[in-house]
Amino acid sequence: MYKAILFDLDGTLTESGEGIIKSVQYALEKLGKPEPDGEKLREFIGPPLLEQFMKYADLDEETARYAVSLYRERYSVTGLYENRPYDGIEEVLAELRRKGYLLAVASSKPERFVLQILDYFQMTQYFHEIVGSEMGGRRTKKAEVIEETLRRMHLEDHRDEVLMVGDREHDVFGAREAGVKCVAVSYGYGTMRELAHARPLKIVDSPEELLHFFG
C-alpha cells in the first residue's frame, strides 16, 4: 500500500517544453552553436542540463557549466513562465490529498525554480515537500533528488510505501536506484519506446488514468 507519491515536474505536472527549448536555443546561440529546430532539443526536457549540454553539443564540463549559466539568463526571467499545468493535473493532486496521500515534488530542476513555478500556478498547497537540485550543480541526479525527498519526509525506511511518477527514463532509473517503484506518464516528453525500455511499474496515458491507478 502506497502512502507517499513523488512527482516529477517537467512533463508530469506541467507542460514546460517551450520555455526550456527556447532557453537552450538562447544558450547555444550565445556559444556559436545555433539550433533553430526546437524538436531536436526535446531531449533537454527533464534530465540534468549539464549532462545534456555536454552530450548534445559535445562540450567539456567547463563550457557546459557556462552553457547552463547562459540558459538560466533567459529561463529565470522568461522561460519558467512559458509553461502550463497539464489539463486535469490539479484535480488529481486535490483528490490524492483528499484520499490522504503524502505528496511531494522531486525534480532535477533547481529547487528555487521549482518553487517559483509551483507558486506561480498556485499548486504549492498540494505538496508536503518540494525538492529540486542545488543551483551550484549538486543533487542533479534523480536518485539523489529522491533520496533527499525521502530524508525530508522521514521515509528512508519505508521505500516500499513510496511511488515516483515521471515522464522520462531517468525518472524510472532514478527511482529504481533509490529503491522505490515508478509509474511513467506517456503524455509528457518521453517516448513510448524509451519508457518501455525503462520498464516502469506501469505506463499511464493521462492524469485521469493516473488517478484511477490509485483507486
Q: Which residues are designated catalytic?
A: 8
- The rounded Cα 164 to chain-centroid distance in angstroms is 11
Question: Which of 119, 83, 71, 63 lies closest to 10, judged by CA?
Answer: 83
Question: How far is residue 25's CA from residue 70's CA, in Å, rounded to a whole number?
Answer: 10
Closest C-alpha among 5, 58, 36, 8 to residue 190: 8
In Å, what is the CA distance from 116 to each residue of 36, 65, 132, 155, 205? 28, 22, 12, 26, 27
Question: What does the block give as the cell for 108?
Answer: 532535477
| Integer Cα distance of 137 and 133 in angstroms | 7
